[in-house]
């Protein structure tokens, strides 16, 4: 999956807004995730105490570098290795995506326009697809 030109433009234009609010968005995402899906806590048992900052940095980096996505490849490979080590499964991405988009709405309020949410949904799905593919390759490599 590839992020559409329209969504890339929206992500790029809203990168400042996302960067400014990324810490609050990521904190909110983890609160919602653990409240609504406590079974996810096990995936984060070894996560650093500043895990929300790592997610915030990832969101900001994605928005800022959306027109040069290849820059993010090393970071995405590192994330994929962490996910494999913690047993993340492909179906879990949809839940995380939903929680993250809900957090955008909670934190950004009126600034979370349908256009912004749709663009970020597309971007999150794109990143999820990349990570799922990388993780599948790692899982297969680990089986050999």
Instruction: Give catalytic residue positions.
Output: 93, 135
Beta strands per DSSP E along 6-122: none
Coil/strand/helix, residue 11: helix
Q: If we measure between CA atoms, which residue out of 72, 51, 50, 53 comes closest to residue 61?
A: 72
HEC states along 92-112? HHHHHHHHHHHHHHHHHHHHC
Q: If we measure between CA atoms, which residue out of 53, 51, 49 comes closest to residue 22?
A: 53
Dihedral angle sign, alpha carbons of residues 55, 40, 45, 88: negative
């Amino acid at each position: 999956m590839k992020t559409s030109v329209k969504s890339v433009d929206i992500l790029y234009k809203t990168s400042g807004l996302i960067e400014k609010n990324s810490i609050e968005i990521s904190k909110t995402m983890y609160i919602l995730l653990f409240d609504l899906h406590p079974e996810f806590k096990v995936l984060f048992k070894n996560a650093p105490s500043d895990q929300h900052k790592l997610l915030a940095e990832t969101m900001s980096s994605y928005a800022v570098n959306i027109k040069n996505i290849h820059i993010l490849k090393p970071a995405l490979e590192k994330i994929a290795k962490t996910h494999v080590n913690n047993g993340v499964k492909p179906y879990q991405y949809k839940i995380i995506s939903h929680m993250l988009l809900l957090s955008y709405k909670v934190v950004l309020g009126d600034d979370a326009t349908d256009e912004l949410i749709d663009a970020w949904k597309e971007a999150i799905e794109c990143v999820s697809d990349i990570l799922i593919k990388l993780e599948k390759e790692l899982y297969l490599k680990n089986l050999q």
